[in-house]
Amino acid sequence: MGRVVEQGVQGVSRVSAAPAQPPAGGRTRAGWLLLPSLALVLVGLLLPLVLLARYSVAQFEPAETAISGLTLENYARFFGDPFYLWILARTLTVALSCTAICLLLGLPAAYVISRVTRPGLKTVLILATVIPLLMGNAVRAAGWMMLLADRGLVNSVLVFGGILSDPVRILYTGTAVVIGLIAVLLPFMIISLQSVFDGIGEVYEEAALSMGANPWVTFFRVTVPLAMPGIFSGCLLCFVLAVNAYATPVLIGGPSFQMMGPKVYEQAIKVYNWPFAASLAFILMGVTLVLTLLSSLTLQKRYGAL
The answer to whether the CB of 291 falls within 8 A of the CB of 297 is: no
Biggest CA-to-CA distance, the chain: 75
CA distance 267 to 259: 12
- Phi/psi for 10 (5° steps) reads -65, -40
How many Cα atoms are found within 13 Å in the side-chain-facing hemisphere of 242? 32
CA distance 298 to 286: 18
Q: How many CB atoms neighbour CB 212 within 10 A?
A: 11
Write out the chain's pLDDT in tens, 306 residues: 445 444 544 544 444 444 455 555 555 566 687 788 888 877 778 888 888 888 888 888 776 666 777 888 889 999 999 999 999 999 999 999 999 999 999 999 999 898 888 878 888 888 888 888 888 778 888 888 888 888 888 888 888 888 877 888 888 888 999 999 999 999 999 998 988 888 887 777 788 888 877 878 888 888 888 888 889 889 999 999 999 999 889 989 888 888 999 999 998 888 888 889 999 999 999 999 998 888 888 877 776 655
Q: What is the DSSP string of 6-50?
A: HHHHHHHHHHHT-PPPPPHHHHHHHHTTHHHHHHHHIIIIIHHHH
DSSP secondary structure letter of residue 169: -
DSSP secondary structure letter of residue 235: H
Q: Domains in the chain, ordered, with CATH?
A: 71-303 (1.10.3720.10)
CA distance 57 to 73: 7
Q: What is the pLDDT of residue 2?
A: 47
pTM for the whole structure: 0.80
Among 286, 89, 88, which Cα is nearest to 294's?
286
CA distance 88 to 106: 26
Cα-based torsion angle of the residue sequence 129, 130, 131, 134 in order, rounded to the nearest 10 degrees: 150
Q: How many CB atoms neighbour CB 143 within 10 A?
A: 14
Q: What is the pLDDT of residue 66?
A: 63
CA distance 196 to 103: 14
CA distance 213 to 203: 14
The answer to whether the CB of 299 falls within 8 A of the CB of 306 is: yes
